[in-house]
Amino acid sequence: MSRGKIAIIGIGEVPTRIMPERTRWDILYDICIQAVRDSGLDKNDIEGVIAVSPQAQPRLTSEISFGKIPEELGLKGCRDSVVCNAGGASTSNCLRMAEQWIESGIAKAVLIPHVTVHSDIPLPEVVNFFARAGVDLQWEYPFGSTYNIIMGLMANRYMHQSGCTPEEMASVVTALRSWSSRDPNSLFYGKEVPSVEKVLGSDLLNTPLHKRESNVLADGGAAMVVVSAKDAKKMKKPAAYKLGESVRYFSACPMLRRHEEVGAAFQDTAKEAMAEAGISKDDIDLWNIYLAYPLAHPMMAEALGVAPPGQGAKYFAEGRMSFGGDIAWSTIGDAPGRGHTGSGVSAACYVETARQLMGKAGERQVKDCKYVYQNTSGGSGFNIIASIWGREL
C-alpha cells in the first residue's frame, strides 16, 4: 500500500535536446543540484541515491551502479546508492525503493536522478539496442522485428477493431505536440505543431506508423527529491504526494500479450490505484500518460474510461486532449512530444506530475490541479504501473 507514505518535494530538469557537447556528468550535476535546491534541503540531507538505469549506456550504468553519484556531488550524508532498472518502469521502481528506504529508516531524503545522452552513442549501437530490446531473441527478433513493428502490430489490430481512421490516429501526434510546443524542456519547444496532413505525409515506416508517429531519440535528464509524506507536510512547501498504486505484469514477449488482457489490466490498475487514493475517475485533473508511441494513446484513453469504447482516436481528433481541450492529457506530450530519452521519459513524466501538482507548469499548468494519474510501462510493455498523486495528503 502506497497511500500517503512519500512525497516529491524537489524537481530538477535540463531541456531535452540533441546535445553531444554535454557530458552525462555535466547533466547529472545540473539536475541533481536543481532538485536538491528546489526541495529546500541541504545537499548533506540527502541520505540515499536511487538512480534510474540509463539504457544503452553500459559505462555510465557501471559507474553509477558502483556508487559514483554521491561521491561526485559530495553528498556527505549519503548512506547508500543503487541503480534500478525496469526499462521505462525504472522510475516507478526507484520511487518504490525510496518509499522502502524512507519507511525502514535507511534514508530520510532520497535523490532520484536520470540522465541519457543518445547523441554520442555510435549509430549502429543505438539501432541494434532498440532492435533487440523488449523482444524475444529466439522467437521474434530473427523475423526482423523492431519497436516500431511491435507498435504497428498493436495499432493495426486496434484500428481493425475500432474502425478508427488513419487521420484520427495521426491527430494524437498533433495533440501531444500541442503540449510540447509549450514545454521549455521539450525537444519541440516553440516548434510548429504538425497537422494531421503533415503527419500522414511523412514517410510510412511500417503500417500504419508514419515517421512523425515515431520518436526522435534525444538527450536529457531529470531528478527528484523524495521524503516521507509526513516530513513534506511539515515543510509546508508545494509537494506531490503518492496516494495510490497498482500494477500488473503481462509478458516480456510482445507476441504473448493478449490485447484484451492488457486493456483490462489498464482499467483494473487505474481503478485499484484510485480506490487506494480514495478518489474516482472524475477527480483526476491530469492524465499524465507514458506510452512512448502516440498510436497507443487512444487505446489507453478507452481503457481508462476517459473515452468511450472505440472513440479514443476520435477524442484526439476533436482536440479534446490537446492544449486548450477539456481533457488534460500527457502535458509533456509523452515521448513523441518530449524527445525520447530511453527510460528517462518516465522520469520526465513523474517530474511533470510533481510540477503540475506544485503549480509550476507555466503555460501548461492544469487549473487547480489536485490529482494526477501517472502510469509507466517497461520494455515493449511488459507491465503497467498505475499511480495516483495528489497535491495534499
Cell numbers placing 314: 476520435
Q: Which residue has the cell 504538425?
A: 194
Q: In terms of CB distance, is 256 or 393 closer to another protein? A: 256
Binding to another protein by CB under 8 A, coded x per residue (else -) over 137-156, reads xxxxxxxxxx-xx--xxxxx
Q: 117 with 24: CB under 8 angstroms?
A: yes
Which run of H or E residues covers position 11? Answer: strand 6-17
Q: 219 by DSSP, 3-state: which?
A: strand
Residue 207 contacts another protein per CB under 8 A: yes
Q: Does 260 bind another protein (CB under 8 A)?
A: no
CB nearer to another protein: pick between 95 and 155 = 155
Compare residues 195 and 207 and give the one whose CB is closer to another protein: 207
157 binds another protein (CB under 8 A): yes
Q: At its nearest, how many Å lie between another protein and the CB of residue 356?
A: 33
Q: How many residues bind another protein (CB under 8 A)?
A: 39
Closer by beta carbon to another protein, 212 or else 391: 212
Beta strands 109-116 and 219-228, pairing class = antiparallel
Q: b or e along 18-44 (b: 16 or more beta carbons within 10 Å of the residue's beta carbon)?
A: ebeebebbebbbbbbebbbebbebebe
H or E element in which residue 226 lies:
strand 219-228
DSSP 146-205: -HHHHHHHHHHHHHHHH---HHHHHHHHHHHHHHHTT-TTSTTTTPPPPPHHHHHHS-EE
**Under rule CB under 8 A, residue 66 binds another protein:** no
First to last CA, the chain: 15
214 is a site residue for another protein (CB under 8 A): yes
The verdict on 205 binding another protein (CB under 8 A) reads yes
Neighbours of 368 (CB within 10 A): 8
Min separation Cβ 132 and another protein, Å = 9
Dist CA 247 CA 269 (whole Å)? 6
Mark residues 282-301: x for contact with another protein by CB under 8 A, - for none: --------------------
> Minimal distance in Å, beta carbon 126 to another protein?
11
Helical H runs in the chain? 24-39, 58-65, 68-73, 90-104, 123-132, 147-162, 166-180, 196-201, 229-235, 259-277, 297-303, 312-317, 334-338, 344-358
Q: Assess 255 for contact with another protein (CB under 8 A).
A: yes
Query: Is 74 near another protein (CB under 8 A)?
Result: no
Examine residue 381 and tell whether it contacts another protein (CB under 8 A). no
Q: Smallest distance from the beta carbon of 22 to another protein, in angstroms? A: 22
Contact with another protein (CB under 8 A) among 44, 76, 195, 256: 256
Give the residue, chosen from 104, 122, 367, 368, that forms a contact with another protein under the rule CB under 8 A: 122
What is the nearest approach in angstroms of another protein to the Cβ of residue 210? 10
Taking contact as CB under 8 A, which single stretch among the options 133-141, 334-342, 352-360, 363-371 is the one that binds another protein?
133-141
**CA 84, CA 96: separation in Å to the nearest integer?**
10
Q: What is the binding site for another protein (CB under 8 A)?
A: 122-124, 127-128, 131, 136-146, 148-149, 152-157, 160, 203-209, 211, 214, 253-256
